[in-house]
Amino acid sequence: MAELVMVHGIGPEDETEQRLREDWTRTLARTLRNNGRADAADRIEGGVVTADMAYYRRLYQGYAPHGESDVRLPAPVAVTGEEVARDIIGNIRRHASDPDDRAEAAEALEELTVDVGPEQGPLEPLRMLVSMMGRLGPIARSGFAALSSTGAFHLGQVAAYLDDEWVREGAIEAVLSRVTPDTKAVLAHSLGTVVAYEALHRLDQPLPLLVTFGSPLGLRSIIRGRLRPQPLRSPAHLKRWVNVADRDDFIVATLKLRKLFPEDDAALERTRRVSNRDFDPHAATEYLSHWETVEPLAELL
């Protein structure tokens, strides 16, 4: 019966449930303390405020690579991974703060107009995209695509969630099994924002707050026919939704998520913008180090 339910995003297998929960709560407590909320920080660190991580990364074991060049994705998942990769490069082109990064991404998108022959196999386009992404400044600095297998696996986590119903339902259940009448807030990062969005639409009880950060919810490859339910709208029982984004976070689909939702949507607020450190602007703990992310939780916790 957790008061705070956290939902992780894409990442390596060695980030265990316990490690993620401890990293998030430690950073959350530090941000509260640094902003004059020592009492709330003490309550979190002391376990008075109960926190749980909706952990679903184990569902991807069948897709995990066994070597640097090993890409273990079925053809349909690889095709979806390609779409997601193109959207991510498009994100950099549209809203990266550095004009050189935007130009680099635009050049990469032009390069993608060259077709890859089918004789090279269904995974070759994805390999090419991962290799290309690894050369782009914002992604290269984060290490997201440092190895072809790692980059493909990260993209594959998004794609498998969209295409593999067993993964999708397992992830949604990981969230719903932790949200109880005692839950005051759901805190979701990266792909976890997509999982939380779909899971909370199935919720049949009030939820005071949802905080999302580093969200790909606006990706065309996700919202066009894949995100459920459509058209986009806030979950019916959600009172307040705060979204946070860094313009240099390559996973962030849009800095104006609110514009994709109906004008009369009362829950979702305008996106709050933060500036994370350059080496990994997508990291969950970077977002949690900002008061803009944590402030909505302060009064509830």
For the packed helices 165-176 and 148-163, what is the interaxial angle rounded to 10 degrees? 80
Rg of the chain over all Cα atoms, to the nearest angstrom: 19
111 contacts 135 by C-beta, under 8 angstroms: no
Rounded to an integer, what distance in angstroms lies between the CA atom of residue 300 and that of residue 219?
Answer: 31
DSSP annotation of 9 reads -
Half-sphere exposure of 18 (CA within 13 A, CB side): 0
161 contacts 191 by C-beta, under 8 angstroms: yes
Query: 234-292: per-residue pLDDT in tens?
Result: 999 999 999 999 999 999 999 999 999 999 999 999 999 999 988 889 999 999 999 99
Mean pLDDT, to the nearest integer, of 87-113?
Answer: 90
Phi/psi of residue 181, each to 5°? -60, -20
One-character DSSP codes across 125-153: HHHHHHHHHTTSHHHHHHTTTSSHHHHHH
pTM: 0.93
Query: 116-165: per-residue pLDDT in tens?
Result: 444 455 557 777 787 888 788 888 777 665 555 566 777 888 888 999 99
3-class SS at 172? helix
